[in-house]
Structure 1
Amino acid sequence: MRDALQWFKSSYSTEEADKSCVEVANRSHTIHVRDSKLGHGPQLAIPAPAWADFITYASADA
């Protein structure tokens, strides 16, 4: 049986429905991402190096 993922909400998320954001979990060099409003809904599983590249790109000055 797989261990449950430990999900963390974005610091931008709140309990207000219109302010919900994303949650992430890290396991075995894979980053899991899901919509915080859906909880047990679909999720993306992204290799950690690709996630790091995305964060670098998203954090860059536009």
Structure 2
Amino acid sequence: IVCAPSNGPVFGLSFSPDKQSIVFFTDDASITLAKDVVHLEAEGNINITSKNGNVNIKGNKVKVNE
């Protein structure tokens, strides 16, 4: 599903049963939800905000600016 207004940004949703994934996208950013992967990509900033709690990142390896 793609929405492309003549005077605005392109955005949409892609569903792929064979890859077991869902992708939300705009001209400059995307979020992919796959079987065991969450992928965030943006031309600009990616912000994670918790107003009343913690932000926890857990994993065998956590890499920053690698």
Which structure shows the bigger proportion of residues in helix conformation?
1
Which structure shows the bigger proportion of residues in strand conformation?
2
TM-score w.r.t. the length of structure 2 is: 0.31
